[in-house]
Chains A and B, each alone.
Chain A
């Protein structure tokens, strides 16, 4: 693993977000393009933490410093006041790690646990109205998509397919996107859209390649990562056809991007 985080502004300027951490990844824009949450290994604490980068003054704050836990997969709430993430704790009863969801209050840095069970929950994100958390839940290594009412903590299954891994839910315009295997025998990742009633594959999916980590630009145009040219590169689909974002791709795998529209 050797990941770096790149920040591109609308004028095409690209800078690397750097600090006293390594392996920065899985970034998420807040209510403005100036605020970016991401996960990285804090070099002093030697643990995965949640960081917030402020582009206006280029400051970086470790929000979960010296927590003693592994903190991953941050996503902002729609109001920008909190960040939902995955927290991994060692559990003596099972002699292994326990994976739960947690909510970070950005101002106070207080963390509230949202789940406390032996199912692995991962990759949480808020619904567009901020009332629900979507996540991937794993049983026997196979992920399904769930959502949880933040008030009642009631959980329901959104997508589950026998033997098929489904993960990385993302919400946009009251619709849900996620990645799943083509079938239990074909583990190529495909990008899916759930409109509240039906789940459909996105039109650019092809067999023999992987598609993941979607960033909706509109209800029908998306930035995504794909192995169409070998390693993962970034592509843009405008509703009819896709282009490879050549000026954004490097020799590494481009994954876990987020997009903030120019308004």
Chain B
């Protein structure tokens, strides 16, 4: 029961987590 509840909570957290931006900062040098 404990395992199932944890899984449920994890699933709920995931579904409410904001979508991460797909934009990645460019590799390279910056000055």
Interface residues of A (CB under 8 A from B): 5-10, 17, 27, 29, 33, 36, 38, 215, 217, 221, 223, 236, 238, 240-243, 245, 247-248, 257-262
Give me 9 other A-B pairs in contact (C-beta within 8 A), A38-B31, A242-B23 excluded: A7-B29, A8-B30, A10-B28, A36-B31, A245-B25, A257-B30, A258-B31, A259-B26, A260-B31
Contacts of A36 in B (CB 8 A): 31
Q: Known interface pairs A238-B23, A243-B23. Does A261 touch B31 (Cβ–Cβ under 8 Å)?
A: no
- From B23, B29, B31, name the one whose CB has the most chain A CB atoms within 10 angstroms: B31
Could you jot down 7 A-B contacts, CB within 8 Å? A9-B29, A10-B27, A10-B28, A236-B23, A241-B23, A258-B31, A262-B29
**Of the residues A221, A240, A241, A260, contact of B29 by C-beta under 8 Å:** A260
B15 interface residue, CB < 8 Å from A? Answer: no
Smallest distance from the beta carbon of A26 to chain B beta carbons, Å? 10
Bits for B16-29, please: 1 = Cβ < 8 Å to A, else 0.
00000101111111
| Most-contacted residue by chain A among B24, B25, B30 (CB, 10 A) | B30
The 6 closest A-B pairs by CB, nearest first: A33-B29, A262-B27, A260-B29, A27-B31, A8-B30, A243-B23
State the total of A-B contacts with C-beta under 8 angstroms.
Answer: 61
Q: Interface size for chain B: under 10, 10 to 19, 20 to 34, or 35 or more residues?
A: 10 to 19
Tell me the bound Cα distance from A245 to B26 in angstroms: 10
A261-B26 contact, Cβ under 8 Å, with A6-B31, A7-B31, A29-B31: yes
Contact A243 B21 (CB under 8 A): yes
By a CB distance below 8 angstroms, the chain A residues around B27 are 10, 261-262
Chain A residues contacting B31 (CB-CB under 8 Å) are: 5-8, 17, 27, 29, 36, 38, 257-258, 260
Contacting residues, chain A, for B26 (C-beta < 8 A): 217, 221, 223, 236, 259, 261-262
Please, how many angstroms separate the alpha-carbon atoms of A240 and B21 in the complex?
11
> In the bound complex, what is the Cα–Cα distance between A104 and B9 (angstroms)?
65
* A8 contacts B21, C-beta separation under 8 Å: no
Inside 8 A of A242's CB, which chain B residues have their CB? 23
By the criterion CB–CB under 8 Å, are B25 and A260 in contact? Answer: no
Of chain B, the residue at the smallest CB distance from A257 is B30
Bound CA span A223–B24, Å: 12
Residue of B nearest to A234 (CB): B30
Residues of B within 8 A of A243 (CB): 21, 23, 25
| A36 CA / B31 CA spacing, docked (Å) | 8
Q: Complex Cα distance A244/B5, Å?
A: 37
- A9 to B30, alpha carbons, bound, how many Å? 7
